[in-house]
Amino acid sequence: MQELLPNIESLASFQNRTVLFYFFKLKNKYDKGHSIKKQFALFQGKCNFWVNCEYTFIGAEDDYWTHAAIIEFPNFAAIENAVKNKIKNEAVEHLQVFAVRKTIPPKFILFLFKLLRPFAYFFSSSSEKLSLNKVLVPFKTEGGIAPTKNQVARHLSNTRTSKAYMINLLQSYKKAKYADQESNITGATAYYKRYGLVAMRSVIMIGGNLILAGKMGEPILETAAPKTTKGSWEGIGIMEYSNPLKIFSLEKMPGYIEALNHRRAGLERTALIISKR
């Protein structure tokens, strides 16, 4: 039976954070997580987000995890109590857990981005059909932080109309690496400030929403994690799209293509997992 939290000696690794992000490999991929949610609820842990992982869009093509979740506790004392009681669940085969410090922008910024949604129509009103060759163009200069041709083709075939939740694990360079110039800024500045804000605005303009943005680090608990997500990640971003193919509309938003230069310069590695409710 798999423990859902680390042992008491590992509490320092939480750094007083009360939000936990989970990847689960459950025995039943159709499991709704009711027993897991109930166990956390006994210790004031609230499940704010539960999704089925569909496939890896960026990263090793292992499609390992079946589910992902966000569990939030009201305070650190509640986490300590849960850890001391050694919560276990027989439905879980393996998991990977991160303690998250939220870095979500102020609500008024998100509100302003939403006010721009009517203008997105004028940039994305083309009825041109998506093709593999056309969709691949923006990714050709992205190297290892881009999906493969097979991953893009699979995503293009995902024509369901329900919402898609895209889980991004992020690791920036210590120093930004621009191909055409020397730079003294950090990779984090290039990625999060120069690319990230433009990307977030673009996602919201096309009807998406921010679910979670935060800082992480080493996993506080990890059992048999796949190559795609294994080990330390400095950040996480989870975005909601109205459907899986909506991600291909980002390039039509003002400033997005130009901002990809900062993504290339700042982002050392990433993983992107497509999921659904």
CA atoms within 13 A on the CB side of 61: 10
Q: Is the pTM of this model over 0.85?
A: yes
Q: In the structure, what pLDDT confidence band is assigned to residue 126 with cuts at 50, 70 and 90?
A: low
Are the C-beta atoms of 65 and 53 separated by less than 8 Å? yes
Instruction: Tell which CATH classification among 3.40.50.300, 1.10.287.70, 3.30.70.100, 3.30.70.270 matches the domain 107-276.
Output: 3.30.70.100
Of the candidate ranges 35-49, 121-135, 193-207, 260-274, the one whose mean pLDDT is the lowest: 121-135
Does 118 score more than 90 pLDDT?
Answer: yes
As its CATH architecture, domain 2-101 has: 2-Layer Sandwich (3.30)
The predicted pLDDT at position 61 comes to 82
Specify the DSSP element, H or E, that contains 257. helix 256-266
Q: Spell out the residues 6+ positions from residue 112 whose beta carbon is closer than 8 angstroms to its own.
A: none
Does 124 score more than 80 pLDDT?
Answer: no
Q: How far is CA 120 from CA 99, 113, 154, 205, 225, in A?
A: 35, 11, 26, 6, 39
For the chain, domain boundaries: 2-101, 107-276
8-state DSSP, 15: T
The predicted pLDDT at position 100 comes to 97
Token duo for residue 56: 């890896």
Q: What is the C-alpha radius of gyration for the chain, rounded to an integer number of angstroms?
A: 19
> Partners of 81 in the beta sheet?
none
Helix, strand, coil share of the chain (percent; to 5)? 35, 30, 35
Does 209 score more than 80 pLDDT?
Answer: yes
The predicted pLDDT at position 138 comes to 83
Does 127 score more than 70 pLDDT?
Answer: no
pLDDT in tens, 222-234: 999 999 999 999 9
Mean pLDDT of the chain: 94
Specify the DSSP element, H or E, that contains 272. strand 267-276
The predicted pLDDT at position 6 comes to 93
pLDDT in tens, 40-88: 999 999 999 999 999 999 999 889 999 999 999 999 999 999 999 999 9
The predicted pLDDT at position 242 comes to 97
Could you list the beta-strand ranges (E) of 103-253: 164-172, 209-217, 221-222, 233-241
Tell me if 2-101 shares its fold with 107-276. yes
Q: Spell out the residues 6+ positions from residue 146 whose beta carbon is closer than 8 angstroms to its own.
A: 58, 139, 140
How large a percentage of the chain has pLDDT more than 90? 84
The predicted pLDDT at position 125 comes to 63
